[in-house]
Amino acid sequence: MKYSLGIDAGGTYTDAVLISDADGKIVDSTKARTTYPDLLIGIQNAFNALDQSILEKVELVSVSTTLATNTILEKTGYPVGLILVGKTDTPKNSAIKYYISVDGGHSSGGNETAPLDIDSVREFVEAVKNKVSAFAVSSYFSVRNPEHELKVKEVITELTGMPVVCGHELSQSLGAYDRGITAFLNAQLLPIANQFMNTVASEVKRRGIDAKLMMLKCDGSIVGMHEALKHPIESIFTGPAASLVGAAYLSDEPSCVVIDVGGTSTDVSLTVNGLPQISDVGAIVGGWQTKVEAIKMETSAMGGDSHVWVMNHVISIGPRRVVPLSVAATKYPRIIKKLKQGQSISRLKLGENIQPTKFFIRTEQKPIELTQREEELLNRIGDQPLTVSEIYWDKNIMPSPMLLDSLIQKRLIQAIGFTPTDALHVLGDYDEWSTEAAVLGAEQLCIFADMEVKELCKLVKEKVAKNMVLNLLSYLMETVDTKEIEKGLDGDFLAGFKVDVPVVLLGGPVRAYTEEIKKFVSAKILLPEYAEVGNAVGSLAGKGVKRIELLIRATFGESKYNLKPTSITVFAPDGKHEMKNYEEAIEFAEELGHKLVMDYMRDAELDDGNISIEMTKKVINPLNTGVPLETKYAFMGIAELNK
């Protein structure tokens, strides 16, 4: 009998599930803590907890991950050099530290509008090559002609040998700046994606499992591992995509809305008649507008491991993820003693990084480009959790919150603190880890919040539940301002909100929030069996999908009587193609569309399944001539995965 293995690596847990290919039933599942930054231990723990006699019969391994999403949300991506060519906007976000805009670019017809300033490119690359891990390039109208992007890529490869991501490789949508941002984020994720995928592949090989390796993309489709490595940006939101596909599978509800509560974020998405709802503007994550085709979703940086902190008597949650006190105490028991001792922290010094419940520990990440002050602070932090007081015990000052923040962003130190997961331990809703550490942490926070322990933890639980409902309603009522929805949730009215589609809950301790959610909204709430590993199920339930768009454009002379085109061009992902006549262009476009879909299926290791290709054609002919002004083709290939 054949089996398939689904793996989902989230910021908190690595889930695994074994499914029988014969009847689609789940035969085994497990959850293991994601080990950060070395993912191997967590993946090995997940493998070890499964039935080994079934594991050795696995012929397909498919994975999904929220690591890319969390990296962007937490602003912990690797440094990247961004090169913008032509009439593109300059970066508005200070997170893009290394960038340059140079002359060049093309017109909407694919013709060069200005020569490429390659000398400026060379100078920029030489200046930043020792400060970045990869480069991203976006040129004006590269979707019509990628020549300048490819030339810049060639020069960077020649000078550095580093990875280079081009905008036209990721999207055929117009918008050079947004393509640049997409390429920039993709380049940030390359080291993370390589580490994750290579870790999974090496563990499968080490165990002697002869299986095809696949990965879920953020539109709910699957792709071969080697192809996925080229475009890790497409793995953003694979966690939500997996939860959506998995929820429909587990609940047997082809139309449902899903609330997926992870360690770092809460995500809401919708499937209608078995098809995920796709965003028509591209994925937005961490405030970045991208050109990545993804499921439509509402997400917020609040999850089970979000940092709960107090300042000016106000309880805040997130946006940063920390290791929960209850979890950390099982590995570092001295945390309990330190929590009992408490810290001497002035109320005036309180902030997100300076808290009575926060600890810091050094990771195994190697430093890149540290300032002297960062290096001094890093050297004070070792392999045992330290409070801020302990870090500077021999000084009369506290560590700089900005320095701590910088080291966290660079993945050099990891934070431990109080979280919603700890609050659930205190309330008795969850007991997987150290309840003692959670209670002690709550007591410390209460000193500064002027609240009772149970009162504080109930407040945290209510805030998380309200955030889930707010995301749910914001998704379903997209034209209504979120602040107005929030007024409805906060007010004491003789009316409320009702959801007309089943709401499926997924995530570790999500069942603890069911009753809290019902206080805010009336809905059919489903908590299916195996809800805690729904993402791992979803990583196996997807199909192979590839969408290709081609454009035929005719150019006419200036005279209104000249109805014969002067040129006919086919614009495709691989560049522009000049045609002799419209009939030739039609034949060429239809053949090329099918070829590009099949080429993708082969590269994505999906060509051994049943592949169908749907083609739609839209003609724009305002002049009412024999040859249309534009003819748009859309090809969608669907591969049913052979399991």
- What pLDDT does 549 receive? 86
Which ranges of 477-565 does DSSP label H, i.e. alpha helix? Answer: 482-490, 514-520, 534-541
Question: Is pLDDT of 642 > 60?
Answer: no
**What are all long-range contacts of 341-348, with beta carbons under 8 Å and residues at least 24 apart?**
342/444, 342/447, 343/387, 343/388, 343/389, 343/444, 344/389, 345/388, 345/389, 345/398, 347/448
Averaged pLDDT for residues 106-117: 86
Measure the CA–CA gap between 274 and 107, rounded to whole angstroms: 40
Q: How far apart, in Å, are the Cα atoms of 595 and each of 224, 479, 539, 589, 640?
A: 18, 40, 27, 10, 18
pLDDT at 494 over 90: no
Q: Is residue 589 part of a domain?
A: yes
Are 4 and 23 contacting, i.e. CB atoms less than 8 angstroms apart?
Answer: no
Higher pLDDT, 275 or 443: 443
Considering the chain, what percentage of its residues have pLDDT values greater than 90?
30
300 domain residue, yes or no: no
**Which pLDDT band holds residue 369 (cuts at 50, 70, 90)?**
confident
pLDDT average, residue stretch 83-92: 77
For the stretch 614-639, pLDDT in tens is 899 999 887 677 888 889 998 988 87
pLDDT band at 99 (very low <50, low <70, confident <90, very high): confident
User: Does 603 fall in a domain?
Assistant: yes
Q: What is the pLDDT of residues 402-421, one digit of tens each?
A: 888 888 888 888 999 999 99
Whether 523 is in a domain gets the answer no
CB of 18 closer than 8 Å to CB of 26? yes
Contact criterion met (CB below 8 Å) for 75 and 408: no
Q: What is the pLDDT of residue 329?
A: 95
State the amino acid at position 275 in one-letter form.
L
Query: In this predicted model, what pLDDT tens digit does every residue of 44-81 receive, in sequence order?
Result: 999 999 999 998 899 888 888 766 555 555 555 567 88
Give the integer Cα–Cα distance in Å for 528 and 511: 10
CA 292 to the chain's CA centroid: 11
Residue 556 has a pLDDT of: 77
Other beta carbons less than 10 A from residue 61's beta carbon: 23
pLDDT at residue 249, rounded to an integer = 83
For 170, the enclosing helix (H) or strand (E) is helix 167-170
| Res 280: pLDDT | 64
Q: List the single range of 8-12, 18-22, 219-223, 557-561 with lowest mean pLDDT.
A: 557-561
The mean-pLDDT minimum among 190-194, 211-215, 230-234 falls in: 230-234
The first and second tokens of residue 325, run together, are 């006190």
Comparison of pLDDT for 633 and 274, the residue scoring more: 633
pLDDT tens digits, one per residue of 275-321 = 778 776 555 554 555 555 667 777 787 888 999 999 988 999 988 88
With 90 as the cut, is the pLDDT of residue 575 above it? no
pLDDT at 86: 87
Contact (CB, 8 A) for 266 and 518: no
| Distance in Å from the first CA to the final CA of the chain | 11
- Inform me whether the pLDDT recorded for 584 exceeds 70: yes
Average pLDDT, the chain: 83
User: Rounded CA gap, 585 and 554, in Å?
Assistant: 10
Q: Is the pTM of this model over 0.95?
A: no
Instruction: Work out the average pLDDT over 176-186.
Output: 69
Residue of 535 and 152 predicted with greater confidence? 152
Count CB neighbours of 49 within 10 A. 14
Q: Are 457 and 442 contacting, i.e. CB atoms less than 8 angstroms apart?
A: yes
Asked which of 22-31, 187-196, 529-538, 630-639 is least confident by mean pLDDT, the reply is 187-196
Percent of the chain scoring above 70 in pLDDT: 85
Q: Where does residue 220 fall: left (phi above 0), alpha (psi -120 to 50 degrees), or beta otherwise? A: left
Which residues have C-beta within 8 Å of that of residue 513, sequence separation ≥ 6? 261, 461, 464, 465, 468, 505
Mean pLDDT within 99-122: 89
Spatial distance between the Cα atoms of 435 and 356, rounded to a whole number of angstroms: 18
Task: Extract the tokens encoding 234.
Answer: 């497409």
Place of tokens 């390589």: 194
**Residue 618 belongs to some domain of the structure:** yes
Bridging pattern class, strands 544-556 and 630-640: antiparallel
Residue 551 lies in a domain: yes
Q: Helix or strand or coil: residue 521?
A: strand
Tell me which residue has tokens 């002919």: 621
- The answer to whether the CB of 237 falls within 8 A of the CB of 283 is yes
Query: Mean pLDDT over residues 535-560, rounded?
Result: 78
The total of structural domains in the chain comes to 1
Q: Which residues contact 359 (CB under 8 A, 6 or more apart)?
A: 328, 335, 338, 385, 386, 387, 415, 416, 417
The whole-number pLDDT of residue 434 equals: 95
**Closest by Cα among 588, 615, 611 to 599:** 611
Q: What is the CA radius of gyration of the chain?
A: 26
pLDDT at 196 over 80: no
Query: What does the angle CA 109 – CA 111 – CA 117 come to, to the nearest 5 degrees?
Result: 140
Residue 342 lies in a domain: no
3-state secondary structure 449-469: HCCCHHHHHHHHHHHHHHHHH
Tokens of 494: 């003789």
Q: Which of 47-61, 181-195, 415-429 has the highest mean pLDDT?
A: 415-429
- Joined together, the tokens standing for residue 641 give 């995965």
Domain residue limits at 634: 544-640
Q: Is residue 578 part of a domain?
A: yes
CB burial of 175-199 (b: ≥16 within 10 Å; e: otherwise) equals bbbbbbbbbbbbbbbbbbbeebbeb
